Amino acid sequence: MSFKKVIISRFGGPEVLQLQNIKKLPEPGPGEVRIKVLHTTANFTDTMIRRGIFPEVKKKPPFAPGYDMVGVVDKNGPKATKFMEGKLVADLTVTGAYSEYLCIPEYELTEVPESLDPAETAALILSYTTAYQMLHRYAKVKKGQRILVHGAAGAVGLALLQLGKQYDLEIFGTASSEKHQLVRDAGATPIDYRTNDFYSMLKENPGKKFDAAFDAIGGTNFKKSFKLLKRGGILIAYGFYNAVTGKGGSIPADFVQLVSLNLLPNGRKAKFFSIGASRKKHPEWFKEDLHTLFQLLEDGKIKPVIYEKYPLEKVVDVHKMIEASNHTGKIVLNVSGITSSIK
């Protein structure tokens, strides 16, 4: 039996993504489970992995990208007894999920409630777990606090807004003007970063400084966000958009900047967050937090914003769209189904 798989043939632009037909299904080894992937998501991180500039992935091409997935158990390998065939499961794969089938150690899998929509669940895994852990495991926010979210209309940004609303947080979020209504609907006050300098706007009210700021932009943004924090506040950096897109700075320089901010004797601190590193250090957190998010999704308290669902065949166009920032929310790839075409 053959199956479809997208691989990175070499590091580079979207054109290096190749859809292949593999003639034989992978066989699960001891303690492994073969998964038929239903959905994965396409993320900015995937574009960094494709270009060979994501620090946490050391693989060399060819290999399949795909940071997260929801699928069903297709076959258990020797000594794998935790999940029955047909059970719906999820995982943060980091790579490999742009494939109809893959094998994963059973201890890494998290069971998904059958009542949940698999596409919505896939859209939740990376972005909402990242947002949840930044808010609660690292910033340790308390009800009614004030936070600043950059890229508020992005997948992680919207997750931060929705989860922050559960704690009655006062939220300000940067976004382009055409996305302001989406930010308002999620309970935040939007700031147009294209026409206004967020720091100049927000520093005018020194009595309203922030308890936490969440910044995936990098460069001068880090320092500006840090200066808007109150004493005891924290900057959570979780990306380097400017450096990666060539808009200024570099990843090493941004890391140095974060270290230097912590040397200032002002009662504030800065941390870099990586969901992959967090999971390696605290694997129990990932499962606990994912179960919490599944419950919030079941209860209708959060709802991932899905821009569109596309088949694997459209993966090159999807990566181009991500790099152009021509979408809002999450892009889901239907790995085992047929969906709409690129707009």
Q: How many CA atoms does the CB half-sphere of 36 hold within 13 Å?
A: 13
CA angle 123, 126, 130 (to 5 degrees): 130
For 190-207, the DSSP string reads EEETTTS-HHHHHTT-GG
pLDDT value of residue 340: 47
CB proximity list for 135: less than 8 A, separation 6 or greater? 141, 160, 163, 164, 167, 212
* Alpha carbon distance 273, 282 (integer Å): 13
Q: What is the number of residues in the chain? A: 343
pLDDT value of residue 336: 87
pLDDT value of residue 290: 96
* Alpha carbon distance 176, 269 (integer Å): 28
- Of the candidates 240, 322, 297, the one whose C-alpha atom is nearest the C-alpha of residue 122 is 297
Please report, to the nearest 10 degrees, the dihedral formed by the alpha carbons of residues 67, 72, 77, 81 taken in order: 110
Which tokens in the block code for residue 119? 């596409």
According to CATH, the superfamily of the domain at 3-112+305-334 is Medium-chain alcohol dehydrogenases, catalytic domain (3.90.180.10)
149 close to 172: Cβ distance less than 8 angstroms: yes
Pairing of strands 229-237, 210-215: parallel
**In terms of CATH architecture, what is 126-277?**
3-Layer(aba) Sandwich (3.40)
* Alpha carbon distance 222, 216 (integer Å): 9
- Tokens 């500006």 — which residue? 224
CB proximity list for 79: less than 8 A, separation 6 or greater? 30, 31
Per DSSP, the three-state class of 30 is coil
pLDDT value of residue 343: 46
pLDDT value of residue 275: 94
333 close to 119: Cβ distance less than 8 angstroms: no
In this structure, the number of other CB atoms found within 10 A of the CB of residue 175 comes to 26
Specify burial of residue 294 (Cβ count, 10 A radius: 0-12, 13-18, 19+): buried
125 close to 97: Cβ distance less than 8 angstroms: no
Domain boundaries, the chain: 3-112+305-334, 126-277
pLDDT along the chain (343 residues), means of 10: 95 97 96 98 95 93 97 97 96 97 97 95 96 97 96 94 95 93 94 87 83 94 95 94 81 89 90 94 94 97 94 96 85 79 48
pLDDT value of residue 165: 94
State the DSSP H helix or E strand holding residue 19, giving kind and residue range, or none if neither.
strand 17-22
210 close to 150: Cβ distance less than 8 angstroms: no
Residue type, 83: F
Per DSSP, the three-state class of 267 is coil
Classify the C-alpha dihedral 222-134-300-166 as positive or negative.
negative
* Alpha carbon distance 31, 153 (integer Å): 40
Per DSSP, the three-state class of 311 is strand
Q: Give whole-number Cα distances, 99 to 19, 74, 95, 333, in Å.
A: 9, 14, 10, 10
